Amino acid sequence: MFPRLFLPAAIFFLLSCQPTQRKANASEIERNGVKISYTACGKGDTTLLFVHGWGITKEYWKAQMRHFCDWYRVVAIDLPGFGQSGKNRNDWNFNEYTDDIKAIIDQLELKNVILIGHSMSGDIVLNVANKYPAAAIGWVGIDNLRKPGGPMSEEQQRQADTFLMQLTSHFDSTVSIYVKKSLFQPTTDISIVNRVMNDILTSDSTIAIKVLRAIMAVGQREQELMSRLPGKLYLINSDVAPTQLDSLNKYCRYGCEVVTIHATGHYPMIEKPDDFNVALEKVIAKIGDGKNR
């Protein structure tokens, strides 16, 4: 299955015989003195903008760049604080990350952007859609937003505070227990487990904890943010945990649609990249057909 190209079959055949645009080029932009590293390839009139989750980097989208760069402009970024992007920032709230995404779109002059956010970046997608509704034509979450988050109860807040205190005191051991217990399946390849563990454990723990605190804050606004989405929300989620579609549709004005990946952990784009790419093709086609509004 190929992505929807908006081209007649004969033209597609001719284009498929031409040299590909798969070579990805690494570069950077700057916003308020903070470097934002990105990798880009392709020349299509639609842009796939990939944003990674907590503790990892743009390198997790390599299989998607290889797959989609023949047909689309594809950009994957390192959020500040992670990967090759700058760490010289004092405030790690999600409004800053939202403005980082807008800066990438504006400075690279990206057109017809489909914004794709994994894990915590589902909330970045929601925030961008609220603050800059014209910045993208489609909004896609990857293994996230399974139910609309709202204000924490007192007990939930106590648990969150305790977890953050444990991270501050014992980052490596707390992360090791949480990641192995919560984010993988027993069938997950050990090389993937080791890769994720290493990336999280070698990230800047001070920044990682501040970002996690920001995740907990913005997560309590998901119901509000979903209610103002300017189009349909698409999710590509593993089926090992339920996605509460009825609840999501209650808040998403234009509805929510879920495409499932069977039996992966939290990182379907590297655990089952072929299945993930097919799922994303389906979502791109629906957005291209105007089914996101």
Q: Are 60 and 54 in contact (CB under 8 A)?
A: no
Number of domains in the chain: 1
What's the start-to-end Cα distance of the chain, in Å?
Answer: 24
Phi, psi dihedral angles at 21 (to 5 degrees):
-110, 35
Pairwise CA distance, residues 139 & 131, whole Å: 13
At 26, the pLDDT band (50, 70, 90 cuts) reads confident
Q: What is the mean pLDDT of residues 122-139?
A: 98
- Domain span at residue 192 reads 20-288
pLDDT for the residue numbered 24? 75
Mean pLDDT of the chain: 91
Percent of the chain with pLDDT over 90: 87
> Residue 84 domain-assigned?
yes
At 181, the pLDDT band (50, 70, 90 cuts) reads confident
User: For position 238, which CATH number holds?
Assistant: 3.40.50.1820
Pairwise CA distance, residues 137 & 46, whole Å: 9
Q: Per mean pLDDT, which range of 18-22, 143-147, 223-227 is the poorest?
A: 18-22
Instruction: Flag whether pLDDT at 70 surpasses 80.
Output: yes
**Paired residues of 49 in beta bridges:** 75, 115
pLDDT for the residue numbered 178? 85
Q: Taking the CA atoms of the chain, what radius of gyration do you get in angstroms?
A: 18
Assessment of whether the complete model's pTM goes beyond 0.95: no
Pairing label, strands 233-238, 73-77: unpaired
At 288, the pLDDT band (50, 70, 90 cuts) reads confident
Instruction: Flag whether pLDDT at 107 surpasses 90.
Output: yes
pLDDT for the residue numbered 201? 96
Q: What is the mean pLDDT of residues 67-74?
A: 96
> Residue 283 domain-assigned?
yes
Extract the tokens encoding 36: 């934002």
At 290, the pLDDT band (50, 70, 90 cuts) reads low
Instruction: Flag whether pLDDT at 7 surpasses 80.
Output: no
> Residue 3 domain-assigned?
no
> Residue 2 domain-assigned?
no
> Residue 55 domain-assigned?
yes
> Residue 223 domain-assigned?
yes
Amino acid (1-letter code) at residue 86: G
Cβ neighbours of 267 (radius 10 Å)? 26
pLDDT for the residue numbered 289? 76
DSSP, collapsed to helix, strand or coil, labels residue 196 as helix
> Residue 50 domain-assigned?
yes
> Residue 293 domain-assigned?
no
Task: For tokens 């707390």, name the residue.
Answer: 174
| Closest to 39 in 3D by CA, of 3, 63, 55, 15 | 63
Cβ neighbours of 152 (radius 10 Å)? 16
Cβ neighbours of 170 (radius 10 Å)? 12
Q: Judge residue 217's burial from the number of C-beta atoms within 10 Å of its C-beta, 0-12 exposed, 13-18 middle, 19 or more buried.
A: middle
